[in-house]
Amino acid sequence: MMMNGEQMMMMKVDNSKPRRKHFGNHLINGSSISSSSFSPSQKTMGVEAQETQETVDLSAMSLDTLPISSNLNLAMVRVLDISNNNLEMIPESLAARLLNMVELDVHSNQLKTLPNSIGCLSKLKTLNVSGNHIQSFPKTIENCRALEDLNANFNQLTTLPDTIGFELINLRKISVNSNKLIFLPTSTSHLTNLRHLDVRLNCIRSLPEDLENLINLEVLNVSQNFQYLEKLPYSIGLLISLVELDVSYNKITTLPDSMGCLKRLSKLSVEGNPLVSPPPEVVEHGVQAIKEYMSEKMTGAHQNSPKKRSWIGKLKKFGTFNGVKMTPEREGYVMPNYRTIDGLASPRYMGMFSPRRLFSPKSHFTR
């Protein structure tokens, strides 16, 4: 799209504030910019005079292409906002020059893909690509290892990168609601720094079995996957930091008994499911009643199962189980130099408590 001088000057540039506030008019340092403020050469050169800006804001300008001058030192840009435009692509050459980018906001455009050169953004911490038409991420995104916050809501994603849990280990928040995801990569369970995971309004059929490594996860939202999600993994009871869980409007009939171990859980949404266990009369009394019911159910239901009884004993020993009808157990596996569950909450040790291992025919605790 061709732009006249005034449109070029409407680009907002601010190196004094890392965060931007939007007002009715496009402003720089609190003053409106008009074409009379610049000489003819400045009008045609756009932002060429601004060579060392750290924050560049091109949002809500109805742009079809990016009018960024070749004289702008993109290596100095730390925050780029090109949201709310009509962009269908981001040039490979542009992303490759944003070497010190920390925050990139491209939400509400017409993007179908991200450039492969996004892998050059090794310092990127916040990426917002929501409200586009993206179907998948380029493999090179695994090089954005500083990434902490990924927002890809309202796209057409069918998969996430297989290596997301092995490469993007600093992720603290993933928001991928309103997409077409069928499953989450198994590597997701290795994101030990993850605090917030939102996968509602997708087509999720199951969650990874080994969730126990998500030791810092506080908020999990898997609601509104409707007829697709029928059960939750047993390991959900080992999410020791979980505070908020939303599984509403799915097809879940039974909550895992292990949810009785979620001591920190204070907000639980289960409406819109054909629940049988716990029954409605328990659900209506709230989250604490549900936890107590699941705790008692786990204690009683497994009295005749040595393997599962042993697992319950370990949960009690390490402070994650609050059952009230516990019968005497045989001595479980004792770690050298006994430590609480907080001390064991690492990928090295938490794998030992994987239900898949503990409930398998072969004991993984024998020597």
Q: Which CATH number is 48's domain given?
A: 3.80.10.10
Instruction: Compute the distance between CA of residue 347 and CA of residue 172 in angstroms, rounded to an integer.
Output: 17
User: Looking at the domain assignment, is residue 104 inside a domain?
Assistant: yes
CB 174 within 8 A of CB 153: no
CB 127 within 8 A of CB 150: yes
User: Looking at the domain assignment, is residue 272 inside a domain?
Assistant: no
Q: Write down the pLDDT at residue 132.
A: 98
Average pLDDT per consecutive 10 residues, the chain (367 residues; last block may be shorter) = 42 44 32 30 35 83 85 89 97 93 98 97 98 97 97 98 96 98 96 98 96 96 96 96 98 96 97 96 96 90 51 50 43 41 45 50 43
User: Looking at the domain assignment, is residue 83 inside a domain?
Assistant: yes
- How would you list the strands of the sheet with 103-105, edge to edge? 12-13, 55-57, 79-81, 103-105, 126-128, 149-151, 173-175, 196-198, 219-221, 244-246, 267-269
User: Where in the sequence is the domain holding 123, given as residue range(s)?
Assistant: 1-147
- Of 125, 147, 169, which residue sits at a domain end? 147
User: Looking at the domain assignment, is residue 284 inside a domain?
Assistant: no
- Of 94, 122, 147, which residue sits at a domain end? 147
Q: Is the C-alpha dihedral spanning 89, 95, 97, 98 positive or negative?
A: positive
Q: Write down the pLDDT at residue 146.
A: 98
Q: What is the pTM of this model?
A: 0.73
The CA-CA-CA angle for residues 351, 146, 72, to 5°, reads 165
Output helix, strand, coil percentages for the chain, rounded to the nearest 5: 30, 10, 60
Number of folded domains in the chain? Answer: 2
Q: How far is CA 281 from the centre of its chain?
A: 34
Determine phi and psi for 151, rounding to 5 degrees. -120, 110
- Of 95, 118, 147, which residue sits at a domain end? 147
User: Looking at the domain assignment, is residue 155 inside a domain?
Assistant: no
Q: DSSP string covering 109-143, please?
A: S--S---GGGGG-TT--EEE--SS------GGGGG
Q: What SS3 class is residue 150? A: strand
CB 30 within 8 A of CB 55: no
Q: Write down the pLDDT at residue 354.
A: 53
Instruction: Compute the distance between CA of residue 38 and CA of residue 42 in angstroms, rounded to an integer.
Output: 6
Q: Write down the pLDDT at residue 50.
A: 45
HSE (side-chain half, CA atoms, 13 Å) at 283: 17
Instruction: Compute the distance between CA of residue 144 and CA of residue 10 in angstroms, rounded to an integer.
Output: 31
CB 229 within 8 A of CB 248: no
User: Looking at the domain assignment, is residue 179 inside a domain?
Assistant: no
CB 268 within 8 A of CB 248: no
Q: Write down the pLDDT at residue 10.
A: 41
Mark residue 335 as left, alpha or beta (left: phi above 0; alpha: psi -120 to 50; beta: remaining).
beta
Q: Write down the pLDDT at residue 303.
A: 52
Q: Write down the pLDDT at residue 285.
A: 96
User: Looking at the domain assignment, is residue 286 inside a domain?
Assistant: no
Instruction: Compute the distance between CA of residue 84 and CA of residue 98 in angstroms, rounded to an integer.
Output: 20
The secondary structure element, H or E, covering residue 245 is: strand 244-246
Say if residue 185 is preceded by a cis peptide, omega within 30 of 0: no
User: Looking at the domain assignment, is residue 210 inside a domain?
Assistant: no
Q: Write down the pLDDT at residue 108.
A: 98
Instruction: Compute the distance between CA of residue 238 and CA of residue 211 in angstroms, rounded to an integer.
Output: 7
Q: Write down the pLDDT at residue 300.
A: 76
Other C-beta atoms closer than 10 Å to the C-beta of 61 total 18
Instruction: Compute the distance between CA of residue 353 and CA of residue 320 in angstroms, rounded to an integer.
Output: 12
Q: Write down the pLDDT at residue 73.
A: 85
